[in-house]
Amino acid sequence: MELTDNELVEKVRAGEDDAFRILVERHSRPIYRSAFRITGNAADADDVVQEAFLRCYRALASFDARATFPTWLNRIAINCALDLIDSRKRREGRIDGGEDLAQLASPDASPDRLLLGSEMQRAIAAAMAELTGNERTAFVLRHFEGMPLEEIGQILGTRLNATKNTVFRAVRKLRQQLQPFTGSLV
Amino acid sequence: MSHLTQEEFILNYYGELDSRAHLDLCDECRGELTRLAKILDQVKPAEVPEPDAGFEERVWNRVSWRLRGEKHRSRGRRATWMAAAAAMLAIAFLAGVFVTRRDTPGPQIATTTTTTQPNQPVQPAGSTTQQQRDRILLVVVGDHFDDSERVLVELTNLKPDGEIDISTERDRAEELLASNRLYRTTAEERGEENVATLLDELEPVLMQIAHAPSQVSADELRSMQKRVEAKGLVFKLRVVRAGVRSESKLPKQPTI
């Protein structure tokens, strides 16, 4: 019979590293998907998965099963992604792949075509890249993952009001950046 | 009638606030929420590329490799501290003997003097202490030279071919490095010039090995081997160690 996550965690705590291998194999893909949505690229998502499992292993002693293992691991991964975005922003000023919005929103481009085409997606990616790590993470969790603001606050370590403000700032920035592309709709 | 704020529109869009009662009555707010929704509805998650079939195994290999490295380094650090502690104890012992003897009060010297046979040359207490200290230092350093020689010989005997695992030599060098520094300082203080010079030459070589990755390329290994050979370290270690060994066993000629 397949062991549950909690049973595997107990085995790892008892020194059975092979049990950790099962946890890694079981949860790598969901973590990768979550990391990809935040970081926006496969290489970073790969790094986040690896880092998340390392942090998870080191912190297993503190896992108290109040949250399920996947939720707990996902929180670790989100924080890893956030750290990665922040450190990259500090180093480079912006996330890789972030394109100049002014270029994307050239007057020659028809808003209708942009809306339906891949350029809109590129514009969204570029607009997302303009967000800070916290704004991007909070927005992804609220907008894509449908996570309640309170839970986002727990992950980011912020109070509810601060979390709300982070999401508000993210939406305002996105709206401002995407306005040129959605002009015909608004 | 007051309208909804921008923040309330966002909360309504995400279902974190229910302002339907107001929205049903207010065309302006309903219009604004629609405009916001039209923009946010366009923001869809980028398609996540599905990782290949070997993804899980790759993740595990990298994670387990790093965890092994961490455990290894942690053990190495522990061993280094133990080696350093052992060296410190030896040095503390030497210093202790020195201080105790130097502070020996007069009557004890008198006793020593009275028990001395008339034909025997009188050996000052300070001189005996110096000899004891030097001998202990030489014994400890002799062992250190033995261990260092073994590491260097093992390293020079490795075949530079492909990726070479030098983790054993690296960990050993890391342990020796901590003691090397302490012995060198002590040897300098004691005026053991030959020993101090060799320890000084040994230190950067041990450092290079200790700071190397566990797997090195053939070129990196060749560079380390060249450094050891260029300095003639193995030969010097043998010569000085032989001298140190005989010196530590032979009773010193008493000085008057």
pLDDT band at B113 (very low <50, low <70, confident <90, very high): very low
Continuous segment of H or E residues that includes residue B175: helix B167-190
Closest Cα of chain B to A114: distance in Å? Answer: 11
Chain A residues within an 8 Å CB radius of B14: 142-143, 149, 167
pLDDT band at B112 (very low <50, low <70, confident <90, very high): very low
CB atoms inside a 10 Å sphere around CB A97? 14
Chain A residues within an 8 Å CB radius of B44: 121, 124
* 3-state secondary structure (DSSP) of residue A128: helix
Closest Cα of chain B to A91: distance in Å? Answer: 25
Chain B residues within an 8 Å CB radius of A168: 6-7, 10
What's the farthest any 2 CA atoms get from each other in chain A? Answer: 64
**In one letter, which amino acid is B103?**
D
Whether the Cβ atoms of residue B241 and residue B140 lie closer than 8 Å to each other: no
CB atoms inside a 10 Å sphere around CB B162? 8
Window 82-141 of A, Cβ < 8 Å to B: 115, 120-121, 124-125, 140
pLDDT band at B166 (very low <50, low <70, confident <90, very high): confident
Residue A28, class by beta-carbon neighbours within 10 Å (0-12 exposed, 13-18 middle, 19+ buried)? buried
pLDDT digits (tens, 9 = 90+) for B59-77: 998 888 788 777 666 665 6
Closest Cα of chain B to A65: distance in Å? Answer: 23
pLDDT digits (tens, 9 = 90+) for B19-42: 999 999 999 999 999 999 988 998
pTM of the full structure: 0.53
CB distance B55–A29 less than 8 Å? yes
DSSP code for B250:
S
**In one letter, which amino acid is B66?**
R
CB distance B63–A182 less than 8 Å? no
Continuous segment of H or E residues that includes residue B164: strand B164-165
Question: Hey, CA dihedral for B140, B144, B150, B156, is it positive or negative?
Answer: negative
DSSP codes joined into one string, B194-243: HHHHHHHHHHHHHHHHHTS-SEE-HHHHHHHHHHHHHTTHHHHHHHHHHH
* 3-state secondary structure (DSSP) of residue B54: coil
- Model ipTM over 0.85: no
pLDDT (0 to 100) of residue A150: 92
Q: Which of B59, B60, B70, B54 is nearest to A19 (CA)?
A: B60
pLDDT digits (tens, 9 = 90+) for A71-105: 999 999 999 998 888 777 765 654 444 443 433 33
In whole angstroms, what is the distance from residue A31 CA to residue A180 CA? Answer: 34
Find the residue in B nearest to A41 (Cα): B48
Whether the Cβ atoms of residue B109 and residue B123 lie closer than 8 Å to each other: no
